[in-house]
Amino acid sequence: MTEENIQGEVATETFGRYEARARLGEGSMGRVYRAFDPLAQREVCVKTPRPEIVNEEGGADYVRRFEREARAAALLSHPHIVTVHDVGENYFVMELLTGVTLQRILAERGSLGLDEALPILEPLADALDHAHSKGIVHRDVKPANIMILTDGRPKIMDFGVAHFESSIVTAKGEFLGSPSYMAPEQIAHGEATPRTDLFSLGVVAYEMLTGHRPFTGDSVTGVIYRVVNEEPMAPSQANAALTARFDEVFRRALSKDPAARFSTARGFVDALAGKRTAESGSFPAMVATMAPSPNVLPPEIETHDLVESPARRSAVGRTLLSPGFGVAAVLGLALIGAAWAASVTRKPPMATMAIETQPSGANVLIDGAPVGVSPVFRQDMTPGPHTVKVVRDGFESAEVGFELVAGAEAVPVRFKLQPIAAFLSVSSQPVGSAVSIDDLLVGNTPLTSLPVGPGSHSVRVEREGFKPWSRAIEAAAGEEASLDAVLEPAAKGEASQGRPGGWVGEGDLVEMGPGVKVPQRIEGSPAAYPRVAARLKLHGAVGVEMIVTEKGEVIEPRVVESAGELLDQAVIDAIASWKFEPAQKDGVKVRVRYRYRQEFKPNP
């Protein structure tokens, strides 16, 4: 479909009569080849699903999406939409374009003047209106899907998520489209209509004229929150060369209410050009005004496809090819619909909150009622105290209380979920034998409910005068494995390993219990109540298990009772500097597992 001075690997595949000559690109779903058509004696572009994707679980969904793209593109015949020449079994053939993407141009130029932008936007508007007249919505209009040919003509590429039925989340939890350019109703409800594409075209035009996207952030969730909830900076604020007239045009183009937007792409571009048409000549009252500057949500995760930065601007220019299957942003966002109000009319502000987990996909309960799968965004919360609990298989559950204030900025409540430990109990005959797990000495038998990571482990039990005993185990999260080692005496003269029974060496990891002197903290204080937690009035208890070494130092802290990442991290940071009078057994300094629990309560 496109060729931008890319030298891909030489290919030997054939697709029907088409001979692949080089691989131009590969996305998460498929591959794009430069190929030769011996019948027409011309070079073409062939797109095909990746075989390994087709054959894996959920592959049928990819095939259906691929077939949907082929059908959508084949229905369209327009000078500014990439032409489909042929459709075969598991492949289709398009014209091979030579040029650069609008994404690359913007990465190098930053912004364009109106006289440069309009010759690109006007043909694109006509192309989108043509697709809409055929009942097809592109759903992923963005600069990476717009090719500027060597003669200056723009073409829309990649109808890979073109809309025939309403769904933006696949069976595998993949999020189709690019959130920075998606309309609020598309994010919230999966609705895709012509006015969804017009919102995306408005975002593209805003970026072309100002050099900035209207909705940016340091995280996927931050971008989505802003698209759904916030108004962008007025373009006249972002670019002093733009007058207040452009503020009015973009206020309409980027309205949260689809009905308030332009009804055609051409109507929007005519308004940008200052043409007085039936549609562009009047601007109905908007439901909200554009903010003088955007609000920035707290950073969360690095998302190269979304973050607007100088580094991204330089790197994005290398993304020369968008082969259709790569336009789906795999974000695993299963519930976003609650973020958009049922009515776009602004109402008195309710309390807003965002709940995120790492990893995502945890079941979220607010005040005991399930509300969806993380990340969850809520605008319908009543002000006042609430509790949130997150639960995911294989991880410790977490719970925290907080208080919401009407109209306050939403600060995400984050949880870093801890894997559920497996447990191991080891007994032996004779007792007092040394136990090593994965070649690390952990104590003497009997050992009960020793936490270990889920998965495979090797266990070795030794005692002087006896043959060593070993087993491989598979520890399941949340379950306890029990081993009973019966050691055989070593034959006379046969070498044996291990320690004399009952002997404890300095630095051995032993279990707390009778005969063990408990470690005493001699330096360090409990965690301070974080300021951000105070603002949210977070409250809950954090439990941490750690190892106190024979030198009185804290190592391997592990959260076993979570009250959210903010309070958890406060405790972890505090205990890192603690010093103890070490535990002792039989007068020897030893290592022990030690538990600490701190409860946080806001000041009255």
Buried residues in 358-371 as b, exposed as e (16+ CB within 10 A): eebbbbbbbeeeeb
Residue 20 maps to a domain: yes
- The DSSP secondary structure of 8-23, one letter per residue, reads --B---EETTEEEEEE
Name the residue range of residue 392's domain: 348-416
Whether 376 and 431 map to the same domain: the answer is no
User: For residues 447 and 445, what is the distance between their CA atoms, to the nearest angstrom?
Assistant: 5
Q: How many helices (H) and strands (E) does the chain have?
A: 13, 34
Same domain, 252 and 387: no
The predicted pLDDT at position 206 comes to 96
Judging by beta carbons within 10 Å of its beta carbon (0-12, 13-18, 19+), is residue 103 exposed, middle or buried?
buried
| 355 and 480 assigned to the same domain | no
438 is catalytic: no
Residue ranges of the chain whose pLDDT lies below 70: 1-12, 27-29, 52-59, 61-62, 65-66, 68-69, 72-73, 159-177, 190, 219, 276-352, 379, 406-412, 493-503, 604
Strand locations in 206-252 (E): none
Q: Are 44 and 36 in contact (CB under 8 A)?
A: yes
Residue at 508 is within a domain = no
Q: Are strands 579-581 and 583-585 parallel, antiparallel or unpaired?
A: unpaired
Does any domain span residue 340?
A: no
The CA distance from 49 to 64, in Å, is: 10
**Which residue is associated with the tokens 């491989």?**
472
Identify whether residues 251 and 289 lie together within a single domain: yes
The set of residues, in sequence order, having a beta carbon less than 8 Å from that of 179 and lying 6+ positions away, is 187, 220, 223, 224, 227, 306, 329, 331
Judge whether 404 lies within some domain. yes
CATH number at residue 564: 3.30.2420.10
Distances (CA, A) of 62 to 57, 75, 167: 10, 20, 14
What are the tens digits of pLDDT across the range 486-541? 998 887 766 555 554 456 778 877 777 778 899 999 999 999 988 878 777 888 89
The whole-angstrom separation of Cα 121 and Cα 264 is: 13
pLDDT, tens digit, 9 for 90 and up, residues 344-380 = 344 444 566 778 887 877 888 888 888 888 777 776 7
In the three-class reduction of DSSP (H, G, I as helix; E, B as strand; rest coil), residue 387 is classed as strand
- The residue among 376, 401, 416 that closes a domain is 416
Q: Report yes or no on 509 lying in a domain.
A: no
Clarify whether residues 239 and 264 are in a common domain: yes
> What is each CA distance from 543 to 393, 398, 546, 596, in whole angstroms?
20, 11, 10, 6
Residue 93 makes CB contacts below 8 A (sequence gap 6+) with 15, 18, 35, 37, 44, 45, 46, 84, 85, 86, 87
Which phi and psi (to 5°) does residue 364 adopt?
-110, 130
DSSP secondary structure letters along 449-482:
EEEE-SEEEEEEEE-TTB--EEEEEEEPTT-EEE
Return the DSSP state at 298.
P
Number of domains in the chain: 4
Q: Are 127 and 80 in contact (CB under 8 A)?
A: yes
Amino acid at 74: A
Q: Are residues 399 and 426 both part of a single domain?
A: no
Which amino acid belongs to residue 199?
A: F
**Of 329, 358, 382, which residue constitutes the final position of a domain?**
329
Q: In the 8-state DSSP scheme, what is residue 350? A: -
Same domain assignment for residues 108 and 17: yes
525: three-class secondary structure by DSSP: coil
pLDDT for res 246: 95
Spatial separation of the C-alpha atoms in residues 547 and 505, rounded to whole Å: 16
Q: Flag whether 209 is in a domain.
A: yes
Where does a domain end: 300, 329, 358?
Answer: 329
Query: What's the rounded Cα separation, in Å, for the pair 604 and 585?
Result: 44
CA distance 603 to 597: 19
User: Strand 154-156 relative to strand 175-176: parallel, antiparallel, unpaired?
Assistant: unpaired
Contacts (Cβ under 8 Å, ≥6 apart) of 471 = 458, 459, 483, 485
The reply to whether 151 and 119 lie within a common domain is yes
Question: 522 with 471, same domain?
Answer: no
Do 432 and 412 belong together in one domain? Answer: no
Map tokens 């580094």 to a residue: 311
Q: Does residue 596 fall inside a structural domain? A: yes
Q: Which of 86, 140, 270, 508 is catalytic?
A: 140
Same domain, 467 and 362: no
Is 308 within the bounds of a domain?
yes
Q: Do 555 and 443 sit in the same domain of this protein?
A: no
The set of residues, in sequence order, having a beta carbon less than 8 Å from that of 557 and lying 6+ positions away, is 544, 545, 546, 572, 575, 576
Q: Which CATH number does the domain housing residue 388 bear?
A: 2.60.40.1120
Residue among 137, 244, 259, 148 at smallest CA distance from 201: 137
